[in-house]
Amino acid sequence: MCGIIGGIGNTDFRSFLLTGLTKLDYRGYDSAGVAYFEGDKIEIRKVCGRVAALSLLVPQTLHTKVGIGHSRWATHGRPSVVNAHPHASQSGMFAIVHNGVITNFKTLQNQLKARRFQFVSQTDSEVIPHLLEWYYTRSGSVMEALRLAAEELQGSYAVAILCKDDPNHLYYLKKGAPLLICKTQDGIFVSSDPTPLAELGGDFYDLPEGSYGYLGEQEVVCYCGETPTAPTPFPYSGVAQSNELHGYRYHMEKEIADIPYAIAALSDNYLSNGALCFDENLLSALSGAKRIHFLGCGSSFFACQCGVSAFRARGKEALASVASEWLGFPYDLDGTTFFILVSQSGETADLIRCQAILNEKAIPHLTVTNTKMSSLERKSTYSLLLYAGLETAVAATKTFVSEVVLLELLASALGGAAVTEADLNCLIEGANAVLGRRNDLERLLSAFGENTFCLATGRLLPIAREAALKLKEVGYLHAEALASGEMKHGPLALIGEGFPVLALVGEICGQEGLRASLEEIKTRGGVPLVISMASYAQDEDAFVLPNVPAPLVPSLFAIVVDLFAFVLGQSRNHPVDHPRNLAKSVTV
């Protein structure tokens, strides 16, 4: 989602802003822009498209001491140059970049229109510079304008602000959206997340929630209302994670190829001398809970569903809810349920809202995430990291597999047959075998048009859902996941000559029923394409996976469906790393 970058000090601002925006790329964006001082004028440059296009508009010889930049993922108003940030106030006194959503923007817009402010964009964000100008004109003080604006703005916002009358400061507003600062010898820099600031080598601080203020070259001034406050240290190691492609053409391709390493990283971090090692307090909280309630979104929700099967297999009552649905009707809050929040980014807004409810009620919970010091991780009672390395492509691949494997390890630490290092090694071997057979998957592509069903049963049903999601996301085809037993209750009506059906067969449970459904599909002209595990395979199956220990079967199927979606998306020349309309980190 939207990303903010900015700073004040002595640096090459052209390079800082443009490289910073590129590093925020993983959040997904459709337009980008920067604002900086040229003499005593604020210059704004923006494009609908990529940072590379923006770089053509920014002078090579940019001499400024203060600048801001933004990558926009459209929410209010289509992607366009006019809707791209920075937005200027009516007279050009203020230029702002905003991440978040102003929920009362219509009301504010009407009030400002009545005060003769003209709006040029369709965004919610444009009310911010006009509101600042309104109060600044009346008070003559930027800080007073910020204080009064903060009282009126509702929703979530991280805003970096330039004021034409004051080229020596970078102003900000922050409530409910991330904004970090990095203090260095050369100045102070801000961003939505630490990634673009990691190489600056300074000290990180979090700006206080609900605060406003300004940054000078070596000073930070923050207020909450009329009370002075101070930034809090943010213990970020400052080590930039590599985003290199290492010879691969696509991040998604590389990240799928990384999966065996991601599994090995889990083995290194959660097994010691052959035994599973998790925090004892976490294990006793899990064992003591009446039930386990998983919350997640998208692929991470499907990982949650795999977690449910893993815990149920160990006799633990468990269920999973889509975070946005649970928010509408939060339940299981009587203190007897233990919550597990699963999110690779740790920044997914719906899940952050769920966590706020849990924290308000002091309900202990665990966050499973790939991102140390992410919003969710920082505010969680317990956390488990995936150690999968940076994931850049929008589609979750290695992190999804890591989530599934880690939840299996955690469940197995509660009792029953434990997953061993040998089991994980077997999964790594299986993963390598699958990754080496990309050509076999390419042979299936010609069967696929615009629609497909993904069938499975039992523990593979969440993986069929993951397959359908990935086929939509990078293959742009309509894919629907179904429990195979449901075919005859309606969906069979769509089956006709040549209709492709992807089926995952690797479970004893429901296997016969699934094969029977496939016969019914064939009889009606449909084309079953079966991915099966060796011990359940039949001669006509399209792709046979090596056997792996039962608890790790869903993980191996996850690898093959991710690889298949990549191969399909790439064969259709889709932008597999940045599918249209999607963002890596869903922060709204």
List contacts with ligand F6R (CB under 6 A). Answer: 297-300, 343-345, 348, 351, 395-396, 469, 473, 586
Whether 277 is a known active-site residue: answer no
User: What does the alpha-carbon distance between residue 306 and residue 301 come to, in Å, rounded to a whole number?
Assistant: 9
Q: Are 382 and 364 in contact (CB under 8 A)?
A: yes
CA distance 129 to 219: 24
**Whole-angstrom distance, CA of residue 195 vs CA of residue 100:** 19
Q: How far is the CB of 278 from ligand F6R (least distance, A)?
A: 21
Smallest gap, in angstroms, from Cβ of residue 174 to ligand F6R? 22
Give me the least distance between CB of 383 and ligand F6R, in Å please: 14
Residues 6+ apart with CB under 8 A from 95: 35, 42, 44, 68, 86, 87, 88, 89, 129, 161, 162
Q: How far apart are CA 149 and CA 221, in angstroms?
A: 17
Give residue for tokens 């992607």: 79
How far from chain centre, in Å, is Cα 171?
28
Name the closest residue to ligand F6R (Cβ).
298
Q: How far apart are CA 77 and CA 517, in angstroms?
A: 45
Q: Closer CB to ligand F6R, residue 303 or residue 556?
A: 303
Q: What is the dihedral of CA 161, 164, 166, 168, to 10 degrees?
A: 70
- When the beta carbons of 133 and 255 are compared against ligand F6R, the nearer one is 255
Contact 50, 575 (CB under 8 A): no
408 burial class (0-12, 13-18, 19+ CB within 10 angstroms)?
buried
Which residue in 2, 48, 354, 454 is the catalytic one? 2
Location of structure tokens 């940030």: 85
Closest CA to 297 of 586, 100, 583: 586
Measured from the CB atom, the residue of 188 and 393 that comes closer to ligand F6R is: 393
The crossing angle, in degrees rounded to 10, of helices 127-139 and 142-152 is 130
Q: Is 2 a catalytic residue?
A: yes
The CA distances from residue 219 to 7, 314, 461, 465, in Å, are: 12, 55, 54, 50
Helix runs in 161-319, H state only: 251-257, 259-270, 280-288, 298-313
208-214-219-224 Cα dihedral, nearest 10 degrees: -30
What gap in Å lies between CA 502 and CA 543, rounded to an integer?
11
**What are the catalytic residues?**
2, 584
